[in-house]
Amino acid sequence: MSVHKDAKRITTQVVYEMKQNGEKISMLTAYDYTMAKIVDQAGIDIILVGDSASNVMAGHETTLPITLNQMIYHAQAVVRAAKRALVVVDLPFGTYQGNSKEALNSAIRIMKESGAHAVKLEGGREIRESIERILSAGIPVMGHLGLTPQSIYKFGTYTVRAKEEVEAQVLREDAKMLSDIGCFSVVFEKIPAQLAAEVTSSMDCPTIGIGAGADCNGQVLVLHDMLGITQEFSPRFLRRYSNLGEQMLGAIKNYVQDVRASDFPSKDEQY
């Protein structure tokens, strides 16, 4: 019996059971209605309204500038499209760190105003109080460890995290804590595959990897990267499933040419 095939709607319980049943979890980002509709129709398990919208949608260099209102706007559009997938929304930078009451208010706004099903927060022990407060309000939480892009100015680079034993041990402890306090899943971003495998097998809740090897319980990619719409970003972990960026460029160039040559519209394309 397959847990996800039998599910009409993917819930956090389904995601949790998929791990117990040895079924891999698929997750992709989406930030708008049209893309989310295609992703949902393709049978994805989780749609992440990631704060990578800050880069992909708004053209910022980092994820830091995106606001709570902007995340809610993106989430509302995605929720309208998702008929089957679980919709998880990132709490943006500055809306949950250091103040668990503010964290809860941010999570409540996302749930109430967008209709999303869960929130994701970056970090471990330093945000434990915020996560516990959100969980206590009945809001499901996805954790995020390893390379946490909201801390890019602390790390200085986007290179692999937890290669050294000290950082690996902190990650082991944080992952266990997130699982123990009740997160329904945890993202591992850019950590050694062997560490991800070891920690995944020791945790009750599922792990979802991006640049964290094949032994996580699921995988996530940024939609525009895997479709080849964004082209400047080419890390080793990124498999491109299409070359849409080039195809779009070609199609738009053809349109421009046709307009300039008065070849569009034709007699059949007018009233």
Q: Which residues are catalytic?
A: 189
Q: What part of residues 73-92 is at the interface with ligand KIV (CB under 6 A)?
A: 90
Does the protein bind ligand KIV through residue 217 (CB under 6 A)?
no
Residue with tokens 């309000």: 137
Choose the stretch contacting ligand KIV; rule: CB under 6 A; options: 46-54, 195-203, 237-245, 258-266.
46-54
Nearest to 25 by CA among 33, 34, 16: 16
Name the token pair of 190. 């850019």
Does the protein bind ligand KIV through residue 116 (CB under 6 A)?
no
Q: What part of residues 119-178 is at the interface with ligand KIV (CB under 6 A)?
A: none
Could you give the residue ranges of the DSSP H alpha helices within 12-87?
Answer: 12-20, 33-41, 53-56, 68-81
Among 50, 140, 143, 211, binds ligand KIV (CB under 6 A): 50
* Rounded CA separation 64/70 (Å): 12
Does the protein bind ligand KIV through residue 222 (CB under 6 A)?
yes
Shortest Cβ 251–ligand KIV spacing (Å): 26
Residue 46 near residue 14 (C-beta atoms within 8 A): no
Choose the stretch contacting ligand KIV; rule: CB under 6 A; options: 50-58, 78-86, 153-161, 195-203.
50-58
Burial status of residue 32 (CB atoms within 10 A of its CB: 0-12, 13-18, 19 or more): middle
Residues at the contact surface with ligand KIV, assessed by CB under 6 A: 29, 48, 50-52, 90, 187, 189, 210, 220, 222
